[in-house]
Amino acid sequence: MRLEDLVRYLDDYLRTGEVADDPHALNGLQVENGGDVHNVAVAVDACQAVIDQAAERGADLLIVHHGLFWGGLEPLVGRHYRRTASLVRHGIALYSAHLPLDRHPEVGNNVVLARKLGVEVRGWFGEYRGASLGIWGELDLARDALAARLSETLGGAVRVIAGGPERVRRVGIITGSAGSMIPQAHRADLDSFVTGEGQHWTYFDAEELGINAFFAGHYATETLGVKALAEHIAERFQLPWSFVDHPTGL
């Protein structure tokens, strides 16, 4: 199909022009190709290793959660040049969806993880740039059992800060690096909070505010949205897709 048609659909479906994000995120099409899409690859990061693997698979569109240009306006030299040159040389268009994918009500990282954990979503919380970033819901599960379910779902270790009750009933989810949102989870009257990672001082936030914090990995928690989005467009447009896995362990 035509790249411009797919990009138009993605922009509308993900609301890339409406969802508030870091000004350097540049959500949407970041690099175009010759104009056609036959084979889609999806990944968490637009790093060199992912681009190389997408090229080996014959992809002509790479959809990622973390795109290029996070430092703002920079010269196309060094690794910035090499990444862009690889995309152009292999005819791979690059589409990035950061917070529009985190927040999406159907294929977003937060909602998909909630479904997999059996959380019954009740609402939104966690203000960022004037909009709610995370979801919260209800679950009746022992704290250790939730950690085990997270580990099984995401395939990795989960760090638990046991600041809250042993029984989890009101849990918030913000994937990625959202440890700083623990105080907002507390203000939303949640007893537990799931995210990817947090800074050192977030341990004391959880401990002193009485919240269970589950750090399940930045990368791991953000693999879900790109896969769900790929399944969605594959079903709608009959496009083959593959997930390029390049875990950081972080």
Q: Has residue 165 got a pLDDT over 90?
A: yes
Provide the pLDDT for residue 23. Answer: 86
Pairing of strands 61-66, 93-96: parallel
Summarised one tens digit per residue, pLDDT across range 75-95 is 999 999 999 999 999 999 999
Provide the pLDDT for residue 71. Answer: 82
Summarised one tens digit per residue, pLDDT across range 194-242 is 999 999 999 999 999 999 999 999 999 999 999 999 999 999 999 999 9
Q: Number of C-alpha atoms within 13 angstroms, CB side, residue 53?
A: 16
Provide the pLDDT for residue 216. Answer: 98
Provide the pLDDT for residue 72. Answer: 84
Where in the chain are the domains? 3-97, 109-221
The string of DSSP letters for 127-167 reads EETTEEEEEEEEEEEEHHHHHHHHHHHHTS--EEEE-S-SE
Provide the pLDDT for residue 207. Answer: 98
- The CATH fold assigned to 109-221 is 3.40.1390
How far apart are the C-alpha atoms of 214 and 82, rounded to whole Å? 37
- Fold: same for 3-97 and 109-221: yes
Summarised one tens digit per residue, pLDDT across range 86-121 is 999 999 999 999 999 999 999 999 999 999 999 999
- Average pLDDT of the chain to the nearest whole number: 97
How far apart are the C-alpha atoms of 95 and 30, rounded to whole Å? 6
The answer to whether domain 3-97 has CATH 3.40.50.2300 is no
Provide the pLDDT for residue 70. Answer: 87
DSSP 87: H
Cβ-count burial of 140 within 10 angstroms (0-12 exposed, 13-18 middle, 19+ buried)?
Answer: exposed
Contact 110/135 with Cβ under 8 angstroms? yes
**CB atoms < 10 A from the CB of 172, how many?**
30
- List C-alpha distances in Å: 222 to 98, 101, 170: 10, 9, 22
Provide the pLDDT for residue 239. Answer: 97
Contact 113/153 with Cβ under 8 angstroms? yes
How far apart are the C-alpha atoms of 243 and 43, rounded to whole Å? 6
SS3 state of residue 102: helix
Residue type for position 238:
Q
Contact 249/219 with Cβ under 8 angstroms? yes
The H-assigned helical ranges of the chain are 3-14, 48-56, 78-89, 99-102, 109-117, 143-154, 182-187, 202-209, 218-221, 224-237
How far apart are the C-alpha atoms of 91 and 94, rounded to whole Å? 10
Q: Number of C-alpha atoms within 13 angstroms, CB side, residue 199?
A: 4
**What φ, ψ does residue 193 adopt, rounded to 5°?**
-145, 130
Only one residue has tokens 């060094």, namely 78
